[in-house]
A and B are shown apart, each in its own frame.
Chain A
Amino acid sequence: MSAIEIPKPDPRILARREAILAGLAKLVPSTSLITEEDERRAFETDALTAYRRIPLAVVLPETTEQVSKVLTFLNQEGVKVVARGAGTSLAGGAIPSEDAVVLGVSKMNRILDVDTDNRTIRVEAGVTNLGVTGAVSHLGFFYAPDPSSQLACTIAGNIAMNSGGAHCLKYGVTTNNVLGVKIVMIDGTVLEIGGAHLDAPGYDLLGLIVGSEGQLGVVTEATLRILPMAEGARPMLMGFQSAEDAGACVAAIIASGIIPVAIEYMDRPAIQVCEAFAHAGYPLDVEALLIIEVEGSEAEIEDLIGRITKIAADYNPSGLRISQSEAESAAIWKGRKSAFGAMGRLADYICMDGTIPTGQLSAVLTGIAKICDGYGLRVSNIFHAGDGNLHPLVLFNANDPAEQDKAERCGEDILKLCVDLGGCLTGEHGVGIEKRDLMTYQFNTIDLDQQMRVKSALDPQWLLNPHKVFPLAGRPV
């Protein structure tokens, strides 16, 4: 039934399973090695749950040194390795194959150093995204990237996928907030790249590692930039009777010289579902809703909200509401951040992640509606409107294999539309297995060959997360 291929396991590896487990048992404590099938099953998929394979074994090392030993051994044995943070990838980035060992970083979850003078924090890679902010919030600081899964997802996974979030319009994504990593290469070599200082000369290996989807090495520690929290922040809600009006309003705000910390967009179906779930007070009689958040002192917030309200007046806003309290702000964001979960109560869905030039907002919405109509599927749109990162949710019934196949093809068409409009296949979720076979739509053979040469140079046997990112056809032999 599955449209996305996960290659058949290598029988030579499966035949040597006992020897491989015995070898791993010598390298890590017994509590760090999972071999029983019922326990391995917990690692068979991630948030792309339609696809699952029970891995050969799961290792949960406690130290970088153990990671190094495990990789050295698996490299010698020619065994594939799938690094895993919290398993929240929506793109199947952490889905193993039956002949692969899952290397989870969940036991490496210590905060190593907080340095507010230099505005940095050093953490083990298994620390959760929210855990980083939690370690510094009492000091008045925070870690900026804020993916919706931030309660669960790890820094390791954020680095692998170059995660974003709702607030990266102002603060950037993971790659703009990571200063250094400790990374273990497939041959067990441990490298320190970057550090608490800025912009090392030499090739930007840090920039290459961030977003490489666990294919170049396993990150075990990271030095991150922390920022002082704003004095205050306040979201406002604005409804519109058309996507065109909402899109034009976003463009006008940005053109006026204001960069809000977040501009989120929801269409009518998304508004209904999120309101029913979170009781955030979203207007229900509009086609499009913007959540715009600004930051600063009380006076600055009022000034910015005044400017934005004035700009928006030209675009027929309705249901304009400015949060009046912390509780109201929290409810507004709860609605948005729980959108995916709330939608999941209604139907199965696949969450797409294309990005488009923001000027194409209404064109892409029209196109998405047409594509979904063509497949007879419902869609709900949630966007990071300020930066053009779209999350259309294509709804379907997972118990109907034909419908799942239809939904996947519908999603593909949407992503191709994003590329056609000048955008890309994935803005923050990563390629994983999900968009692997679409890579040829965005890149030509020359582009992909060069990317794969880098993969081959750093992982000659293609053992690290091998079934991801690049189409299975056309790989180096």
Chain B
Amino acid sequence: MTSILLPDTEAEIEAIVHEAAQSRSALAIHGGGTRPIGGPVHAERALSTQQMSGITLYEPSELVLSARAGTPLAEIQATLAANRQRLPFEPIDYRHLLDNHGTPTIGGVTASNSSGPRRIHSGAARDALIGIRATTGRGETIKSGGRVMKNVTGYDFVKLMAGSWGTLGVLTEVTYKLLPEVETETTLLLSGLSAERAVEAMTAALATPFEVTGAAHLPATGGAPSRTVLRLEGFEASVTYRTARLDAVLRPFGTFEMVAAEASRVLWKSIRDVEVLETPREAAIWRISVRPSDGPAVGARLAAALGSSLLYDWAGGLIWASASPEGDGGAAIVRATVATVGGHAMLVRGSPALRLSVPVFQPEAPAVAAISRQIKATFDPAGVLNPGRM
């Protein structure tokens, strides 16, 4: 049984990591532990930031918020909602898909660069992240970025930390830029399109200036026709206007239904959290990013070769695909399929044994992998932070 260390302060984290580096004793780093993604970590001890909690700065009129890494995401979202603001990137809540009951933290969102459907319009977590503090594998706390919107002072370790899964440093505090909450939203729903036609429709909509903030395709299941959905957000009159304009653009693809604000929110939450692939629980789940125009061919190939159930987000560019957990969990076919078009695939859900036997992350080209290893070595020379995870 691993012991869990729960430091309250940056100084304690520094001491723990420093000691770990000295004794070459690995640490498993996590926040709320709701994203058990990546290779199984070989560590005697775990370090959780969940005691490092609390919003440290919130200036609504400057659209900026800082919080200690262990702050529950829900606390941040509630605080923002009370001021009619939000995180721009719509972070996925992995608890449904990964069947766990922890408390997602802002540090975990950051370390995993978790972005949702709005990514295509408003950018990823890494784009909204403007400042970090993190304790490196040397037991030293570095800062990068800050609390201002534009900052090119020094190397951008903010980006490097986003999506580094706790392997470069233990995040202690993060700062995000925010967006105002919208007045309303609506979703245009087209039924019965093939994936190819759906991507054409989504592409047509995204080539307009009408600011589509979500574009997803849910293939037909169990007799229910496929659904292709496009989200508009903003001031009421503007949403109404853009809906009308998109009507003309989408006419070749059929007549859309309107999903009103409340139902639209529920729908996009289900897309964000990939609810359609929650069951069967044992299935392996892949998250694949390709050019949107390549999405349908990739999806079709996986459905044919692996019997995958699919969800297309990001206008077809993000494919969530299930596969049998047996053997390599579909890894060989997924990787080969992605290789034909360019892109990457990550095994989001799989048993520890599967995640040990196939690379979870897209293998990097050897020259790129060499650079990544060099960078890792500068941050964590003793290799004590989350060994095995990436």
**Cβ contact within 8 Å between A175 and B209:** no
Interface pair B209/A431, CB less than 8 Å apart = no
> Which chain A residues border B291 with CB–CB below 8 Å?
115, 118, 120, 196-197
Most chain B CB inside 10 Å of its own CB: which residue of A118, A199, A251, A446: A199
List which B364-390 residues lie within 8 A (CB) of chain A: 364-365, 367-368, 371-372, 374-379, 390
A444 → chain B closest CB, angstroms: 8
A297 engages B241 (CB within 8 Å): yes
With a cutoff of 8 Å between Cβ atoms, the chain A residues found around residue B156 in the complex are: 162, 175, 207-208, 210-212
Q: Which of A422, A427, A454 contacts B150 (CB 8 A)?
A: A427
Q: How far is the CA of A229 from the CA of B241 in the complex (A)?
A: 17
When A198-B318, A254-B63 are in contact, do A429 and B181 touch as well, CB less than 8 Å? no
Q: How far is the CB of B145 from chain A (nearest CB, A)?
A: 8
- Interface presence of B3 (CB below 8 A): no
By a CB distance below 8 angstroms, the chain B residues around A457 are 374-375, 377-378
Q: B367 to A189, Cβ gap below 8 A? A: yes
Contact B368 A193 (CB under 8 A): yes
Say whether B196 faces chain A, with CB atoms less than 8 Å apart: no
Cβ contact within 8 Å between B206 and A172: no
Q: How far is the CB of A99 from chain B (nearest CB, A)?
A: 25
**Total A-B contacts with CB atoms under 8 angstroms apart:** 252
Are A454 and B371 in contact, with the CB atoms below 8 A?
no
With beta carbons under 8 angstroms apart, the residue of B142, B146, B318 that contacts A422 is: B146
A112, CB-defined interface residue at 8 Å: no
Contact with B along A415-454 (1 / 0, CB 8 A): 0000000111111111100010001001100111011011
Q: A439 CA to B144 CA in the complex, in Å?
A: 12
Which of A204, A212, A299, A303 gathers most chain B CB within 10 Å? Answer: A204
Determine the interface band of chain B, counting residues with CB < 8 A from chain A: 35 or more
Which of the residues B151, B361, B378 comes within 8 Å of A427, measured between beta carbons? B151
In angstroms, Cα B148 to Cα A141, docked, is 29
Q: A201-B163, A451-B155 are in contact. Are A424 and B146 (CB under 8 A)?
A: yes
Choose from A190, A191, A431 the contact partner of B153 (Cβ within 8 Å). A431
Known contacts A197-B317, A384-B150, A424-B153; decide if A454 and B368 are in contact (CB<8 Å).
Answer: no
Question: Measured between alpha carbons, how far is A429 from B343 in the docked complex, in Å?
Answer: 32
Q: Separation in Å of the B365 CB from the closest CB of chain A?
A: 7
Instruction: Across the interface, name the chain B residue whose C-beta is closest to A415.
Output: B153
Interface 1/0 per residue, A181-211 and B, CB below 8 Å: 0000100011111011111111111111011
| Any B CB within 8 A of the CB of A48 | no
Are A389 and B149 interface neighbours, CB within 8 A? yes
Judge whether A140 is part of the interface by a CB distance below 8 angstroms: yes
B371 with A191: CB separation less than 8 A: yes
With an 8 A cutoff between CB atoms, is B60 at the interface? yes
What 0/1 pattern do residues 143 to 171 of B give for CB contact below 8 A with A? Answer: 11011111111111111101110001000
B208/A228 in contact, CB under 8 A = yes
Cβ of A18 within 8 Å of any chain B Cβ, yes or no, is: no
A357: contacting residue among B64, B143, B292, CB under 8 A:
B64
With known contacts A195-B342, A422-B146, A450-B379, A228–B159 Cβ distance under 8 A: no
Q: Is A258 an interface residue (CB 8 A)?
A: yes
- With a cutoff of 8 Å between Cβ atoms, the chain B residues found around residue A229 in the complex are 209
CB-CB < 8 A to A155: which residues of B?
none
Asked if residues A195 and B343 are in contact (CB atoms below 8 Å), the reply is: yes
* In the assembled complex, A33 has its CB within 8 A of some CB on chain B: no
Q: Are B209 and A425 in contact (CB under 8 A)?
A: no
| Interface: B36 (CB within 8 A) | no
Q: Are B238 and A207 in contact (CB under 8 A)?
A: no
Does the CB pair A450–B151 fall under 8 Å?
no
Q: What is the 8 Å Cβ interface bit string for chain A, positions 456-467, against chain B (1 contact, 0 not)?
A: 111000000000
Q: Which residues of B contact A162 (CB under 8 A)?
A: 152, 156
B-chain residues with CB within 8 Å of residue A118 when the two chains form the complex: 203, 291-293, 317
Q: Which residue from B150, B206, B238, B346 sits with its C-beta under 8 Å from A388?
A: B150
Contact digits for A152-173, partner B, Cβ 8 Å, 1 yes 0 no: 0000000001101000110011
Check B209–A203 contact: CB distance below 8 A. no
A338 CA to B18 CA in the complex, in Å? Answer: 53
| Contacting residue for A211 out of B155, B238, B344, B368, CB 8 A | B155
Q: Does A146 contact B (CB under 8 A)?
A: no
Q: Known contacts A258-B180, A297-B245, A358-B62; can you find 4 more A-B pairs with CB under 8 A? A: A173-B150, A198-B119, A202-B163, A211-B152
